[in-house]
C-alpha cells in the first residue's frame, strides 16, 4: 500500500486568532518585562511582584492578523515572526504606565468569576 502525501501549500493553512485579551506586564529582577493574563497576574501581584502596566491586547492581535496575511501572500515565515515580535514590543509600550490591579482570583463566584468582596451586599 502506497500512501501519497500532498505537497505543503501555505494557502491552505488555517490560523485561529483569539480575540484580544487584557495583558498585564510585570518586571523581572534583570529589568526586563514579561506578559501574563489576569489570573496569573493576581498571583504575581499578591506575592509582591511589580506591575509595569496593563494593555488591552489589540496591538498584539493586530500584529497576528498582519503576520497571517503576510504568510498567506509571501510565505516568508521569518518576516511573520518579526512582525509578531514587533507587535509584542508595541503592546508593552502601550501598557507601560497604565497601572491597574488585577481582580482577586482567590475568591470566585459559582460561575468561576472573581468576586470583589468590597462590592458584596450584606443581607
Q: Which domain holds residue 98?
A: 21-108
Let me know if residue 69 belongs to a domain: yes
Distance CA 9, CA 6 (A): 9
Distance CA 112, CA 123 (A): 22
122 has pLDDT over 60: no
Let me know if residue 44 belongs to a domain: yes
Count of residues in the chain: 123
Position 113 confidence tier, pLDDT thresholds 50, 70, 90: confident
Model pTM greater than 0.75? no
Q: Cell numbers at residue 40, please?
A: 496569573
Distance CA 23, CA 102 (A): 10
- The total of structural domains in the chain comes to 1
pLDDT tens per residue, range 4-44:
777 766 566 666 777 888 999 999 889 889 999 988 999 99
Let me know if residue 50 belongs to a domain: yes
Q: What is the pLDDT of residue 7?
A: 73
- Of 33 and 2, the one with more pLDDT: 33
Let me know if residue 34 belongs to a domain: yes
Let me know if residue 16 belongs to a domain: no
Let me know if residue 12 belongs to a domain: no
Let me know if residue 86 belongs to a domain: yes
Let me know if residue 46 belongs to a domain: yes
Amino acid at each position: 500500500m502506497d500512501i501519497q502525501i500532498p505537497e505543503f501549500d501555505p494557502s491552505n493553512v488555517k490560523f485561529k486568532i483569539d480575540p484580544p485579551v487584557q495583558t498585564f506586564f510585570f518586571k523581572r529582577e534583570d529589568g526586563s518585562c514579561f506578559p501574563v493574563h489576569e489570573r496569573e497576574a493576581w498571583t504575581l501581584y499578591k506575592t509582591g511582584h511589580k506591575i509595569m502596566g496593563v494593555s488591552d491586547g489589540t496591538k498584539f492581535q493586530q500584529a497576528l492578523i498582519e503576520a497571517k496575511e503576510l504568510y498567506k501572500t509571501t510565505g516568508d515565515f521569518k518576516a511573520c515572526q518579526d512582525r509578531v515580535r514587533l507587535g509584542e514590543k508595541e503592546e508593552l509600550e502601550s501598557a507601560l504606565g497604565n497601572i491597574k490591579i488585577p481582580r482577586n482570583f482567590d475568591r470566585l463566584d459559582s460561575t468561576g468569576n472573581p468576586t470583589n468582596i468590597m462590592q458584596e451586599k450584606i443581607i
